[in-house]
Structure 1
């Protein structure tokens, strides 16, 4: 995966394609709400599987009925790269199956 840092404009442009995602503390982030803890846990497990497939991992925070995703690329000096957006797009694609909003 590409590990060149994206510019602020590139990040802003890419975020327009990902409603619900934002840029804060040098990471792209999103919090999903789910029906309950088991549903949130299932989403975490599904995201973890995709992360292993891509060999790119985010920080996941599991709450009772929430999952917070935050990511940047460590090998690019903790900057946001194309790899982060690839993972975010994959997460967005699987979230509806978990009824995450």
Structure 2
């Protein structure tokens, strides 16, 4: 079953994070994201601060409707948005992180958000 079809489960404090092997097996399902420093990361560059803020609001809405789980989000230089998934309560990545990254990819494609360029 693709990650986008799975239900994002609420985070249970102390639940074990995914193993590195599990993460590497699932990573192809979230194109554009990379795994480094124990986090799932992706950076986006927008044409304006208003587009960047609208994108951040989409991410917050996604987290609100899906298990009340949110990534770390950094806005820099008024138009660069870095998104980093990590489950603090588990001390690593969980399946929910990857599900939400996959859903964010779908949202980007569906809503044409990627007028912005993706930067690695």
The normalised TM-score by structure 2 is: 0.75
Q: Which residue of 1 aligns with 2:6?
A: none
Q: Indicate the structure with greater helix content.
A: 1
- Aligned pair count reads 100
What runs of 5+ residues in structure 1 fail to find an aligned partner? none
Q: CA deviation at 1:51?
A: 0.8
| Runs of at least 4 residues off by over 2 Å | none
Structure 2: runs of 5+ lacking an equivalent: 1-8
- Aligned pairs for 1:55-74 within 5 A: 55-63=68-76, 64-74=78-88
RMSD, matched Cα:
1.6
Alignment match, 2:61: 49
CA distance in 2, matches of 1:95, 1:40: 13
Equivalence for 1:9: 21
